[in-house]
Structure 1
Amino acid sequence: MKAAWRGVKAELAAGHSGWENLTDAQPLSSFGRKSKAGAVVSPETAMSLSAVWACVSRTASVIGSLPLDMYQRGDGATRVSVDHDLAGMLSESPNREQTGLEFWESMVAHTLLRGNGVAERLQVGNRLVGLRPLINADPRRDSDGDLVYDYWDRGKKYTMPASKVFHIRGFGSGDGLGLSAVRYGLQSMGAALAADEAAATFFENGMMPSGVLTSEQVLTDVQRKQLTAMLMQYAGSKKVGKIMALEAGLKYEQLQMNPEDVQLLATRRHQIEDVCRWFGTPPIVIGHSSEGQTMWGSGVEAIMLSWQTMGINPLLTRIERRIQKDLVLPGPGRRFFFEFNREAMLQMDSKSKADLLNKMVSVGILTRDEARAKLNEQARGGAADQLMAQMAMAPIENLKGNEG
């Protein structure tokens, strides 16, 4: 654990104070830092916020659900069958337990939360046969400047060299390590956690502090304890409305508090939008709209396209480049490359989809069989597998008139 302590001391020296729960039995990645609002923020506690959960799950699910295809360079790109070992592994079954969707969901989620998505390379000899996500892995530089990965398994710490892992770096990975939105969003997410806790406490105590008890007498310590025990019989949301009997000169004075203030609605609305900024997710994607904004219409469609362009596409490209650098064999193997099918994100209504396919077939971009494949219809073969184009207009010298 000396190396772990050195890493923690380095964080403290860099001004990162407030590390919590440092024990030999815990993985490094579970450490949280205390925000100025008092809440401890870690990837695990951040995920208890509905906004963080929604941002991470929406992005990870979208990317995980996209087809990942392998292509071969040539005269145009040719899709490679999933029968190819690497193509089948990355798209269908990266390991014994996960599907391709589940694996990429996991990798993207950890990249968003921790800044680094790490998977162990499962090998037979020098042949890659699978990838297994390492949830509690922490990349760092060793004394020689090489990347190594500390991870915990059944209470024990292990260190793995870079050659044994597949590592997706998040944003800002200039030194080979991605930046964590949870770490840099400490104050924003800490305030959101504190607001949730404050609202829950109000509900626990009967939704709001309904009043105060006053007395002209000075209570003894014993009387104070007795009074506190009596008041606890009326605390809690299930006991709202119970009638309390007062004696010994006690008087009840009611307090007025707006229910909206109790739930901290304005604060929590702002915090949802603030969390969305950290993860690059438009609030509308997680079901949150601004005042006066609807959840439907051309404006929302433009927002979704913007998210796909500036939020999803950079992550897809980041993964594709990392696959190419770390998993595709050098030499002749470089003629292969992987690419997510971004078109799968652009789901349209039946009429729009029919119009698009009709135009692409009419101008010779797709064959009719390729258009049928996009509808999961069986190929017809023959002329249906040939590129064709309409000839509504042609050079006038090619026209033959009827001579009488």
Structure 2
Amino acid sequence: MRILGLQITRAAPRAAVAQNASPVSAYGGNGGWWPLIIREAFSGAWQQNKELAPETMLAYYAVYACVTLISADIGKLQINLTQRDEADIWTKTQSAAFSPVLQKPNGYQTHIQFIENWIMSKLTRGNTYVLKDRDARGVVTALYVLDPSRVTVLVADDGSVYYRMSSDKLAGIPDGDVTVPASEIIHDRMNCLFHPLVGTSPLFACALAARQGLAIQNNSASFFENGAQPGGILVAPGAISDETAKRLKDKWEENFGGVNRGRLAVLGDGLKYEALTMNAVDAQLIEQQKMTAEIVCSVYHVPQYMVGVGTAPTYNNIEALSQNYYAQCLQSLIESLELCLDEGLALPKDYRTELDLDGLLRMDTATMIKTLTDGVGGGIVAPNEARRKINLKPVKGGATPYLQQQNYSLAALAERDANEPFAKPAPTPAPAANNPPADPNAEPGSQPAAQPPGEKALDVETIEREAQRLMAEAIAEAQRSGVREPC
């Protein structure tokens, strides 16, 4: 395995400062910690093999449903490498240094399996440790999610952080312990209640509820498997010997236990049967079971109806339900994963990873078409962008957003209002006697032609006399030329 461009073997020397490092405790200070055991339900539970371990808690259906639901929903989201352009917009891009490891993190996992493994480790153990594998250039070429039980956080005297890893064949870690600096590990952790380097799993808060739920299920299984009703006693009217008591007990279990459960019992000699435990109705096992599942869902912030607890909402708004689930449960996990990848891969400042939320916040078809139509009609989305959302090819002329012609900008409307378009126009003065009448064919609001300097304005009578004189001269000229006078 190559770390920092060097081949790591079992005999590889550790950094000198790492030898003085101490393991971190989950409850503060140093002294080591056990990531498998969550806590003791009561004093001495570990000695009685009743410790609350993740493997035990995952056997409860509500815990298993929440963990697998969250990890599967995040795992199905495509990991995109994005770059910020000149307009400060993040767009998908490709990079020879970063894209390959995001598309195929390692040789035995797809990116979906890798993300699911990442989230499951975080939800069940509180911590996710990812080992980086580098090439000779120092570029990360593979990522391996490690078993949290085989990793220990070490803190040196100067505050440097190291990670001690046990053997892991899939990750290429040889037999024995290998200590690496924090630069070679991506450490994603849940809420750090006791130490900033140790995350706390949600199982810490719901372990008792899960144990109660398992106990109820075991009791129900025993109830239906047991035979002779739940545990009880046969009461005799007088004293009996041990041999008689054993004989009656064996006879009762033989006749009314196992497959003989429910058969009719006939008691004589004053014997009386008295049940010691409550039946399923008296104990309200169904309500108790539902309560424990609700506690688990509340700890994981999963809507109860998504894991089969409670009634699904009656309103049909898939997008609103998905948005609520994303905001309360998934958003923190998704953004933490993205940030850890950005820092772990040492992406430049103009690059970052983003999980494609379209696979999660997917609307129903009718709502999607209406949303895209409104976006195109409002000039926000280009037609080709809307077509790409529903997996259609672009069309000619569809790369530009469109808006109807009658729409005006706010600046144009403000300019119009500044000119007082709704004010009353001033009254037109009557024409003077020596002024010519207004031209009826002139444009509204136009001014009459200015009078040439040195000329007098003519009134109507003068114009008529001049017209008659010109007509008379024309008739006389026609007569002289031998042309008949026009009728």
Secondary structure in 2 matching 1:191: helix
What's 1:60 paired with?
71
Secondary structure in 2 matching 1:233: helix
Per-residue deviation, 1:67? 2.0
Structure 2 letter corresponding to 1:114: R
Matched-pair contact (CA < 8 Å) for 2:128–2:189: yes
Secondary structure in 1 matching 2:140: strand
1:328 paired with 2:346, answer: yes
Structure 2 letter corresponding to 1:132: Y
1:5-404 alignment, distance < 5 Å = 28-31=34-37, 33-36=39-42, 39-75=50-86, 76-81=88-93, 84-90=96-102, 92-125=103-136, 126-135=138-147, 136-144=149-157, 145=159, 146-151=161-166, 153=168, 158-161=177-180, 162-172=182-192, 175-206=196-227, 208-209=229-230, 212-233=233-254, 238-244=259-265, 250-253=271-274, 257-261=278-282, 264-289=285-310, 293-297=311-315, 302=320, 304-329=322-347, 333-380=348-395, 382-394=396-408
Aligned-CA RMSD value: 3.7
Matched-pair contact (CA < 8 Å) for 2:126–2:190: yes
Matched-pair contact (CA < 8 Å) for 1:36–1:190: no
For residues 388 and 85 of structure 1, do their structure 2 counterparts lie closer, same or farther at Cα, with a shift above 3 Å needed?
farther
Secondary structure in 1 matching 2:262: coil
Secondary structure in 1 matching 2:263: coil
For residues 87 and 275 of structure 1, do their structure 2 counterparts lie closer, same or farther at Cα, with a shift above 3 Å needed?
same
Structure 2 letter corresponding to 1:364: G
For residues 372 and 203 of structure 1, do their structure 2 counterparts lie closer, same or farther at Cα, with a shift above 3 Å needed?
same
Per-residue deviation, 1:309? 1.2
Secondary structure in 2 matching 1:40: coil
Gaps of 5+ in 2: 1-18, 417-442, 444-487
Question: Normalized per residue, which structure has more helix?
Answer: 1
CA distance, structure 2, for counterparts of residue 234 and residue 86 of structure 1: 71
CA distance, structure 2, for counterparts of residue 232 and residue 12 of structure 1: 50
Secondary structure in 2 matching 1:168: strand
Structure 1 letter corresponding to 2:372: L
The one-character-per-residue Cα deviations of 1:128-176 (angstroms, maximum 9, x if unpaired) are 1111211334442345342424445479663442333222121237612
The one-character-per-residue Cα deviations of 1:320-348 (angstroms, maximum 9, x if unpaired) are 1111222134xxx2221111222432222
Secondary structure in 2 matching 1:242: coil
Structure 1 letter corresponding to 2:344: D
The one-character-per-residue Cα deviations of 1:45-104 (angstroms, maximum 9, x if unpaired) are 1111111111111111111111221111122335344564423422x3211121111111
Matched-pair contact (CA < 8 Å) for 1:367–1:384: yes
Per-residue deviation, 1:311? 1.8
Matched-pair contact (CA < 8 Å) for 2:230–2:279: no
CA distance, structure 2, for counterparts of residue 322 and residue 339 of structure 1: 11
CA distance, structure 2, for counterparts of residue 127 and residue 259 of structure 1: 61
TM-score, normalization by structure 1: 0.79
Secondary structure in 1 matching 2:349: helix
Structure of higher RCO (CA pairs closer than 8 Å, 6+ residues apart): 1
Moved more, 204-213 or 168-177: 204-213
For residues 248 and 106 of structure 1, do their structure 2 counterparts lie closer, same or farther at Cα, with a shift above 3 Å needed?
same
**Aligned length, in residue pairs:** 375
CA distance, structure 1, for counterparts of residue 271 and residue 334 of structure 2: 67
Matched-pair contact (CA < 8 Å) for 2:162–2:179: no
CA distance, structure 1, for counterparts of residue 179 and residue 380 of structure 2: 48
What's 1:23 paired with?
none
Matched-pair contact (CA < 8 Å) for 1:121–1:131: yes
Per-residue deviation, 1:262? 5.3
Structure 2 letter corresponding to 1:36: F
For residues 85 and 304 of structure 1, do their structure 2 counterparts lie closer, same or farther at Cα, with a shift above 3 Å needed?
same
CA distance, structure 2, for counterparts of residue 390 and residue 287 of structure 1: 49
